[in-house]
Amino acid sequence: MKAFQLGLIGAAILAAIPSFASAQGDEESNFRRGNSTQLAAMVKARQYLFGPENVDERTGKVRDDKVIFSWFSVASFAVAAKGRVFLLDSYIYRLADKRAYVPVTVQDLVDVRPEFIFLGHGHGDHADNAAYIAKLTGATIYGAAEHCDAMRGDAVRIFGAGTTVKCESITTAGSAPGAEVKTLRPLAPDLCITAFKHVHSATVPVDPSLPPNPINAVRDPRVDTLFPPNPPPARDTRTNAGVGGPIPIMYQFTVGGSDFTFTWHDTAGPLKEQAPALLQFFTTLPKTDVELGAGVSIGEANNGVRDITMYVQALQPKVFFMTHTDNFNIGASMFYVQAIQRQFDIFNIPAADRPEIRGLHDPYDYVRPGLMTFNYRDDYWRDSRRGNRHSRYCSG
């Protein structure tokens, strides 16, 4: 823990010396050529999502010496890593045309001008708004082949016949979990990405080898009083999902020129029953420093948080951000955190091998970039146990 605190102190010192990215996407080049209204909106949105201290107030460039995550519900994040801006999922819980329970709107995500949108899977509580944002910003969507089919259909439904969006398929239609491991380089050399299909959460029989560990989550009863429902958005930007709904993609990002990695998955399936080889495959990846993973499961009534804890046990992150509890049991995230800690005991995971668990807790941690800002150059991320190697699938 002391080493981590020193890492935070180092990050704070670096924060006093702004370093802004020089490599930017075409959208920012267009802004510099004269679209002052869009540029002003981009600066405002990026300062809101990533912190004003991290964004150049003239150009909208984000500091390139940090990795910044800004959570905007469920498993959705706006990310600025080495100055590159992208989205992990695009869904907003309790969406409205004004900031509400989740203080983010679709217009905020358009204004932030992401270069890419990475989809974890195709259900509406993950892929809603993606085609709309991609069309208005020029962002490229990444996902399974089935996701791209849905995105193209969404673009036509939202904007009319002949409308297209850019979508790159990571896996082919119908492929098995783990069968296709791809290296993605749209953000190279700043970030390298390893991506592959895994397993969506599902109900399987009670695991007889483990004692029960019920979550017993209690929904916050104050929510509807403190945050009364808003009218639905004027424009329908939801996805039709289709067969790509339950197909999940897992991503590991390596920051170029560093030992810092982060892994993101917006669902956690019963790998023990449905894809046991993937648990072993996880150990062949480079070490994970920060894991962003779903803490809920469709099958949690039978096996609680067993599945997500198995992901954590195999990946061995230093920091784990638990997501997705808000639209399952609003305001009840702490019950899931406590259940995961009990599951660590059940699995007999040594204290030294357990990650620091950070919520995320709704609504308190929405759009709190200071909670999730990392100095990727810090020595804290070096790990002699698993080595500082890059995956053979991703040369870094």
In what helix (H) or strand (E) does residue 11 lie, and over which residues does it extend?
helix 2-15
Bridge partners of 78, per DSSP, are 70, 87
What's the gap between Cα 325 and its chain centre?
Answer: 14
pLDDT digits (tens, 9 = 90+) for 92-102: 999 999 999 99
Of 253, 286, 249, whose CA–CA distance to 81 is shortest? 253
Measure the CA–CA gap between 81 and 83, rounded to whole angstroms. 5
Measure the CA–CA gap between 135 and 159, rounded to whole angstroms. 9
**Thinking of the domain 2-381, which architecture would CATH place it in?**
4-Layer Sandwich (3.60)
pTM, entire model: 0.91
Q: Which amino acid is at 76?
A: S
Of 89, 75, 106, whose CA–CA distance to 237 is shortest? 106
Which tokens in the block code for residue 269? 């399936």
Domain boundaries, the chain: 2-381
Q: What is the DSSP string of 59-104?
A: T-PBBSS-EEEEE-STT-EEEEETTEEEEE----TT--SS--SSS-
In the predicted model, what is the mean pLDDT of residues 201-209?
Answer: 98
Measure the CA–CA gap between 28 and 21, rounded to whole angstroms. 12
Measure the CA–CA gap between 334 and 218, rounded to whole angstroms. 10
pLDDT above 70 coverage of the chain, percent: 88
With beta carbons less than 8 A apart as the criterion, state whether 70 and 49 touch: yes
Fill in the DSSP letter of residue 211: -
In the predicted model, what is the mean pLDDT of residues 217-236?
Answer: 92
Name the band, by pLDDT with cuts 50, 70 and 90, for residue 386. low
Q: In this structure, is the dihedral angle defined by the CA atoms of residues 252, 255, 261 and 263, taken in order, positive or negative?
A: negative
Measure the CA–CA gap between 138 and 140, rounded to whole angstroms. 7
In the predicted model, what is the mean pLDDT of residues 156-176?
Answer: 97
Measure the CA–CA gap between 116 and 113, rounded to whole angstroms. 9
Q: What is the DSSP string of 326-379?
A: TTTSTT-HHHHHHHHHHHHHHTT--GGGPPEEE---TTTTTT-GGGGEE-TT-G
Please tell me the predicted confidence (pLDDT) of residue 89.
Answer: 98
Q: Is the pLDDT of residue 55 over 80?
A: yes
List, in order, residues 6 or more apart from 189 with CB less than 8 Å away.
256, 257
Name the band, by pLDDT with cuts 50, 70 and 90, for residue 390. low
Q: Which residue has the tokens 């791209």?
A: 148
pLDDT digits (tens, 9 = 90+) for 178-204: 999 999 999 999 999 999 999 999 999
